[in-house]
Chains A and B, each alone.
Chain A
């Protein structure tokens, strides 16, 4: 983990090809919770992003949000606002920050942080109800998966 600062720099400077992902603990949030640089150093794949958003073990975003473009997946939730058109009024930087850790944008939000690994109360081992095995959890989404979700959200232009 000593290398993380360096890795972040590498990720910022180097092209996509050799970039190491920015570790969850090293993500830099702006005052309003936005994240400038790609977490993986690579562009996102919107199609994979859509798949992650409806996957229960991954984003499961539709548990809380309605998204017309994903209406093939059943049972969209109402806990969060609809995401239709969100790519039109939010920048990729803002969306990256919201997906990585929404609490940096919306204080006290019920929306879970998808790219965060420590600082939890009674962290569990996934959905087993047992104690987590490692001190640092695996983030719910990988750096590339966050980028994929952001790329998909950017396609939601009208709503």
Chain B
């Protein structure tokens, strides 16, 4: 019995200092349409613990999936962007306005996606891009809000995001958003559900490793909304969060909930420095 206890102790000690090999991410470079050079790996922002280099989820996908994102003619997400251009120009609601009535062309949205979620001074709240879109729809247009994680919402987010493609994500974490950011950080590290796993269990401690058939990435959201081959549509970040929390056998939060807004702010800030990639393609 003495010997066994010793072995157990040795094994425990060996396990106590796991060598997390940040492997698995490939060294490919992403250039979109042969012209937009994308930053898909860079030094982690200072506010991030335990990770020295941040990487786009693109590096963890197969060559075939990666290739779909390199050219807009191959990227199925661009079909949704086209649909959103129609929505952009369509008059809706009691004010008889379209997005274009106030904002001219979608190009006017350049730079917007890179800094969201962000503080809205007049509303006194942290706003995601989806919240801002719905604020315009309800308060400016007198139209119905989009369902938070619906395809029309994801498509409009994609149209706005693509105007910032290649720009570095640069989400503010201090000042009025600091409290929300802390709340998001806390959620990121909370181990939920019967499997007692946090976002960090998978995307910080185990990125690069396979979990069943899936190659774990860092769970970055610089590529959202994402076209997933699995469900053949554009998916919002909150939709993805919900799926990941559900997979811990937990009660999830709802898309658009204050918890997921805080989590989005925190996760977005973990990608500060990566290029805006949306609409990206994943499996």
Contacts and interface: CB of A to CB of B under 8 A. Distances in A.
Interface of A: 32-34, 60, 62-64, 74-79, 89-91, 94, 103, 105-107, 109-110, 112-113, 120-132, 137, 140
Nearest to A78: B209
B205 A110 contact: yes
25 contacts: A32-B5, A60-B212, A77-B209, A77-B210, A78-B210, A78-B211, A79-B210, A89-B7, A105-B12, A106-B12, A106-B16, A110-B197, A110-B206, A112-B196, A112-B197, A120-B250, A121-B192, A121-B250, A123-B194, A123-B250, A124-B246, A124-B249, A124-B250, A125-B251, A132-B251
A129 B248 CA distance: 9
Contacts of A127: 246-247, 249
Interface residue SS majority, chain A: loop
Contacts of A94: 4, 8
A89 B10 CA distance: 11
Interface in B93-144: none
A78 B214 CA distance: 10
Contacts of B15: 106, 109
B193 interface: yes
Contacts of A77: 209-212
Interface residues of B, number: 36
A107 B251 contact: no
Nearest to A91: B4
Nearest to A139: B194
